[in-house]
Structure 1
Amino acid sequence: MFSHKFMFCWFSINMGTASSMLTQYDIDDVQEHCNNLFSQQEIVSLYKRFCQLDRNAKGFVSADEIMTVPEFALNSFSQRLLKMVDGLNFKDFVAFLSAFNANASNRQKVELVFKVYDVDGHGKVTFTDVIEVLRDLSGSFMSDQQREEVLSHVLSEAGYTRESTLMLEDFIKILDYPGLKMEVEVPVD
């Protein structure tokens, strides 16, 4: 989970001037924090969007505020993602979004997927955890039996069983392949 210790944003009463409150030092700090996956212009755009989402100028965004973003509201992972983003300050908000950047490494993307599947947040994923997420994703389009058969097959091909407990490195072994697509376009004003 992301750190909530450092409140990064300063907000003005007039949200229209929010971008002027982001200094070059702040932009550089955020870029470094997200491994330079966003340009300075993208950081400023994200800051403006963050300030729009933070309706009460609290310095962090809530899950309800995040759900106003269409990309998250329409995402089948949205409820699980909300647990991860609720209460993020700007710096951690950008770090979270960096996993969706086209230039993020497959490892960064798989780490995010692992956190989504790690239902209880204990650093391991069980067959039941994966089935629960698959149920959320597939809804009534698949039966529980179909989900279990598909998952058993995928695990078997990767050398695991239904009884296996998967750690992050196991997830990387299973999911780390070229072309993994998890991107969110950052509109630049």
Structure 2
Amino acid sequence: MGSVPSMLTQYDIEEVQKYCNTLFSQEEIVALYQRFCQLDHNAKGFISADEFLSVPEFAMNPLSQRLLKMVDGLNFKDFVAFLSAFSAKASPQQKIELIFKVYDSDRHGKVSLKDMVEVLKDLSGPFISDEQREVLGQSNLKMRVEVPVE
């Protein structure tokens, strides 16, 4: 499933379901495939960061630049896997792992004070000073949680 076939076969749908721990029904996978094809403007078989930014809700998200690092170049199977963390059926562990990846921008397996301050900057914009972010980051870091990422 590296490139996007013109139609999903039953085998493709079942393969994506297994890959995503059956968090989506077959009908939902077909709908996600249609959305994927709409976003994949040049039918390359993957979605670029620019194509993700064409979704207004994504572009307006204050963490969109962090999310873009995670989604740039996703094929359909990985697109569905990424979205599975947002599903109501996703486990708390899956949701935590996604949030952890958003915060751990340097991908070293830990959320550092620097990571916390960067996320706070993304979320608060010019409304909080760097000094205030540093204090908030330090207080949040005291609740340090390390989540094993697969």
Q: Decide: shared fold, TM above 0.5.
A: yes
CA distance in 1, matches of 2:94, 2:5: 28
Alignment match, 1:7:
2
Q: State the 1:25 CA deviation.
A: 1.1
Alignment match, 1:46:
32
Q: State the 1:36 CA deviation.
A: 1.1
Which one of 54, 60, 68 corresponds to residue 54 of structure 2? Answer: 68
CA distance in 1, matches of 2:23, 2:66: 24
Higher relative contact order by CA 8 Å / sep ≥ 6: 1 or 2? 1
Which one of 117, 122, 127 corresponds to residue 103 of structure 2? Answer: 117
Which one of 121, 146, 150 corresponds to residue 167 of structure 1? Answer: 146
Deviations 1:12-61 (A, max 9, x none): xxxxxxxxx11111111111111111111110010001011111111111
| 2:120–2:137 contact (8 Å) kept in structure 1 | no
| Secondary structure at 1:27 match in 2 | helix
Compare CA radii of gyration and give the structure with the larger one: 1
Using the size of structure 1 for normalisation, the TM-score is 0.73
Counterpart mapping for 1:85-164 below 5 A: 85-156=71-142, 158=143, 160=144
Moved over 3 A (4+): none
CA distance in 2, matches of 1:26, 1:51: 15
| Secondary structure at 2:17 match in 1 | helix
CA distance in 1, matches of 2:72, 2:136: 32
CA RMSD in angstroms, aligned pairs only: 1.7
Alignment match, 1:82:
68
| 1:47–1:90 contact (8 Å) kept in structure 2 | yes
| 1:8–1:91 contact (8 Å) kept in structure 2 | no
Amino acid at match of 2:138: S
Q: State the 1:133 CA deviation.
A: 1.3
| Secondary structure at 1:168 match in 2 | coil
| Secondary structure at 2:138 match in 1 | helix
Amino acid at match of 1:10: P
Identity fraction in percent = 65
Q: How many residues align?
A: 149
Amino acid at match of 2:42: N
CA distance in 2, matches of 1:127, 1:155: 6
